Structure 1
């Protein structure tokens, strides 16, 4: 049986491990955290949103970014401090503006595929991740934003997504708890929301049941590729956490037939060791999880998921007693600090649009989105045999991962077929 290492235990790593395991590979997941989904897959906006598949590569995004550059509470914020990585990434971002339409359509198609795979996995493995199939409502405060959304809807339609325009009165009917005046909106009934952390942890448990090995609290020090007797070999040098306060960290090298890099913002450095350029930049996003501790707050919080175009804030209802509000994009390097001036707009937005919700217990969080300059995930083989990538999903990792995991598993099955037929039968019905 061929052995494959998956580096990273976020949503892309765990879905990849599952997809490889179902095809009969001996899979080992390596992650520096003690548990799965403890970094970018911990507390995102919660939306499984084909209706948010529009890539950011457009001149309108650039102009908004310039306007917001020196505003601390802006939806998009960039630290102007010089950085070759940041400015080279932005140059590539601009170079991909001509691909805006094609990439938006392709992302939409991927999102629709991923939805079917994810629901099938959750049903088969009995994963409760607070799924709400109530659609996503995009709201617009002026004609300019609404008209831009109408143009994006034409691209979504080409990708196979149906969403409908709604009037201010229809907005109120779809989500009665929402306060404020709006020019109009778009409603995507097929979109949904869920808790990424619960799903990833649940799928990790399923992977263990199916024989996947997990090496947790293990930092990857280096990777080395070689070929022996015509077969690739990947050596991964690890530092394992000490088992007690007195013990010393353990250094170990593990060898595999192949590797899939799913390491989020750490993927760029690992790729460089394999001779590949994966130009991921960390784009920080923030969220708050409002604990709905009283009945009044529970009744005043929305069940339909929202995206406010002007503020770029999204919401998800995660069961009866939790309300997730997320947004912002911050270009500030690999910085995980939770800034009060970036959390405050999320709290204030909640108080304004849902005044009946108590924000007395609002838990802040920040995570680093691994973003490629073209806003498309890197899914495929590297230069060296046995080296593969499923990373760089940006703000759509939750939305796309179930599809890209199947894509990379199929690529590996073609390039490195299992040596012995698998007796496993838990294949996706959607295939």
Structure 2
């Protein structure tokens, strides 16, 4: 047993990386955080939908998802878009996705339990560190336009309940009482009062600052060149501008989002993450009428696969869709347009003149479950692959992996 604090590296400065660094530092580890950008949370943790959504814990491994993907393949504005151009990575990922369909119910319940636990951790950390991230406790309303999708939601609710979540069915009249600004005709909805929203970028940068206060050394602007392990130590080579630095650590936690797959391969592990692109728009509510016409309650529209969150008085975030198109980060106009049109249809009083588009690559495992745990070699750990639930799950998986480090590398 070592009589000093183990020296741990964390690769990745998104939401999973900064929460992992924080959780390790709270346990007394010496931590160095590597991030290729100049600041924390500049990629997938920059402008997501903003939902801490236990109610969105349903995994995607369902035959209905596969059928929708095939049906929508030739529609450029489809909620789920698959580039038909083949690649070994994509084909292997989809084969494992289909193989995980029998675990749909079990994984949905397990994800719900994780998300419930994450909520407690997040609330405690935010209170302890005094974080300001536009946290709003107005609940999340799932909206459905037809009987079929509403009835499927009823089946999902039973799985969520097994995981500990309470959500209730609501009529169209109750939906309008919950969110009066919502326009359109709906078959019904489901409302989760306990779900919340917030700005992922503000939360992540706040956690990064909190980690630094606990002694975490942050190496921003350091692009990872190589990661090696000999079973006794981990050697990381990173490039900072024109300079290359090599450092040795007792262990490493890989939290590198879509880059985790390549880093894992260097360490002898297979972490089959695929980059699933999601889009968002941030609507600037620059006038009083738009501010009054935008919803306070967070929404999830199952048909369009869009979510929305109100971030403070002056911003309205709409995000979603899933695009399987490799490591392409292009912001496509034909993918942004449906988000703007959704705002115009559902909230016609909101002006959409000032809209900021964004796209990010969600790191998704084929079974939609995050990879949290040790690798093959001593001192190597993973906390990655959270897909569309990074904000929802990060606090608990950070605590879980820090506990695993504590068991394997006592100090």
TM-score tier by shorter-chain length is: over 0.9
Residue 93 of structure 2: aligned partner: 89
Residue 234 of structure 2: aligned partner: 234
Map 1:59-208 → 2, pairs under 5 A? 59-208=63-212
Deviations 1:155-198 (A, max 9, x none): 00000000000000000000000000000000000000000000
In 2, Cα distance between the equivalents of 1:406 and 1:210?
A: 15
After TM superposition, the score normalised by the length of structure 1 is 0.94
Residue 216 of structure 2: aligned partner: 212
Deviations 1:124-177 (A, max 9, x none): 101000000100000000000000000000000000000000000000000000
In 2, Cα distance between the equivalents of 1:165 and 1:226?
A: 54
Residue 4 of structure 1: aligned partner: 8
Deviations 1:12-32 (A, max 9, x none): 000000000000000000010
How much does 1:322 deviate? 0.2
Residue 256 of structure 1: aligned partner: 249
Out of 10, 15, 20, the position equivalent to 1:16 is 20
- What 5-or-longer segments of structure 2 have no aligned partner? none
Out of 299, 306, 310, the position equivalent to 2:299 is 306
Residue 397 of structure 2: aligned partner: 404
In 2, Cα distance between the equivalents of 1:51 and 1:223?
A: 37
Residue 421 of structure 1: aligned partner: none
Map 1:366-385 → 2, pairs under 5 A? 366-385=359-378
In 2, Cα distance between the equivalents of 1:44 and 1:198?
A: 11
How much does 1:223 deviate? 1.1
- What 5-or-longer segments of structure 1 have no aligned partner? 242-248, 419-431
SS in 2 for 1:368: strand
Deviations 1:332-379 (A, max 9, x none): 000100000000000001011101000110000000000000000000
**Which 4+ stretches in 1 moved above 2 angstroms?**
none
What RMSD over aligned residues (CA atoms) do the two structures have, in Å? 0.5
After TM superposition, the score normalised by the length of structure 2 is 0.99
How much does 1:50 deviate? 0.4
SS in 1 for 2:290: helix
Out of 309, 317, 321, the position equivalent to 1:328 is 321
Number of equivalent positions:
407
Deviations 1:250-271 (A, max 9, x none): 0110110000000000000000
Out of 291, 312, 321, the position equivalent to 2:284 is 291
In 2, Cα distance between the equivalents of 1:115 and 1:319?
A: 20
How much does 1:389 deviate? 0.1
In 1, Cα distance between the equivalents of 2:61 and 2:91?
A: 15
How much does 1:224 deviate? 1.3
Map 1:6-45 → 2, pairs under 5 A? 6-45=10-49
